[in-house]
Amino acid sequence: MGEYQHNLDAKGRLIIPAKFREQIGSELVLTRGMEGCIFGYPLVEWAKIEAKLAKLSLTKKNARSFTRMFYSGAMEGEFDKQGRINISPTLKEHAGLKKECVIVGVSTRIEIWAKERWDDYSEEANESYDDIAESLDDIEL
C-alpha cells in the first residue's frame, strides 16, 4: 500500500520503492492494467493470475481478446542494484509514461501511472469515494 512518485530515467527505467521491492522479491511481471496504468505482480501472484486466466473459455470472444492483450503486454523484469526496472515501450505507450510516474500499492500488486493520469483519476475517484464505497455490497470495514 502507499503512493510514491519517481521519474523514468533516460533509458526508460523506473525506481520501485524499497517498501514494494521487499514484498515483491527480486522479480516481477508487468502488464497492461486498467484505466491506462501498468499492473505489476510478484511472481507468486502472477502464477495465481495465470491459473485464473487459464479457466476462461476459448469460445468467448471477450475472454480471448482480454487474455491476448493482457499477455501480449506482459514482461518479466528484475530489479537492478538501484532498485530500477526497465519498462517496455509497449507498456510505456499503454500508460502514457513520459517522465513523472506514480507507483501505487494495491493489495497484491503495484500500479504504475503517468502522474497526469493518476492526478486526473485520483481527483475523479475522490469526488465519488463515498458513493463508490456505498455501492460495494460485499465489504465491511
The string of pLDDT tens digits covering residues 15-39 is: 999 999 999 988 999 999 999 999 9
How confident is the model at residue 141, as a pLDDT? 56
- For 56-105, the pLDDT digits (tens) are 998 999 999 999 999 999 999 999 999 999 999 999 999 999 999 999 99
* Closest-CA residue to 87 (of 7, 5, 23): 7
Domain count, the chain: 1
- Residue-wise burial string across 43-82, b where 16 or more C-beta atoms lie within 10 A, e elsewhere: eebbeebeeeeeeeeeeeeeeeeeeeebeebbeebebeee
- Domain containing residue 59: 2-135
- Give the confidence band of 53 by pLDDT, cuts at 50, 70, 90: very high
Q: Residue 125's pLDDT is what? A: 84
Residue 83 covered by a domain: yes
Within a domain: 60: yes
- Whether 69 is covered by a domain: the verdict is yes
Residue 103 within any structural domain of the chain: yes
| Residue-level pLDDT at 136 | 76
Identify the pLDDT of residue 90.
94
Q: Tell me which of 84-93, 106-115, 122-131 is least confident.
A: 122-131
User: Has residue 88 been placed in a domain?
Assistant: yes
Query: What's the predicted TM-score (pTM) here?
Result: 0.90
Look up the CATH number of the domain holding residue 76. 3.40.1550.20
Residue 15 lies in a domain: yes
Whether 129 maps to a domain, the answer reads: yes
Establish if 80 belongs to a structural domain: yes
Instruction: Quote the DSSP letter at residue 60.
Output: -
SS3 79: coil
What would the mean pLDDT of 109-122 be, rounded to a whole number?
96
